[in-house]
Amino acid sequence: MRDVPATAVRPIIERLCERHGQERVARMLGVPQRRLWDIRNGPPQKTVSFRTADRIVTRGPGPDAWHTDPTLSVIYVAATATDASARQPGAAD
């Protein structure tokens, strides 16, 4: 799967941290606090794996956000389309 720009999930993490605190959010997402801090404060070109982004989105605003948020929708389509074409027999290289 493709990497996702950290800037796409930062607002979700920020809202969660404001509401619950960084330590609780890290536990909720199943990531170390240091990694969560790195995602929140890293450079603009920072990326996260789709798996991590999916965990953030689904445990934050919910899985519907992948389809209702315009930015996340584009990322989701790109990530899943790449995966789907790789799994299809006879898919073009």
What's the distance, Cα to Cα, between the start and end of the chain in Å? 16
Q: How confident is the model at residue 80 (pLDDT cuts 50, 70, 90)?
A: confident
Q: Assess whether pLDDT exceeds 90 at residue 87.
A: no
Q: For the chain, how are helix, strand and coil distributed in percent, rounded to 5?
A: 70, 5, 25
Q: Which CATH number fits the domain 3-87, given the four candidates 1.10.150, 1.10.260, 1.25.40, 1.10.3470?
A: 1.10.260
Rounded-to-integer distance, Cα 60 and Cα 54, Å: 10
Residue range 27-75, pLDDT digits in tens: 999 999 999 999 999 998 999 999 999 999 999 999 999 999 999 999 9
- DSSP 3-state of 62: coil
pLDDT computed for residue 93 by the predictor:
43
What pTM did the predictor assign?
A: 0.81
The domain spans of the chain are: 3-87
The amino acid occupying position 43 is P
Q: Assess whether pLDDT exceeds 90 at residue 7.
A: yes
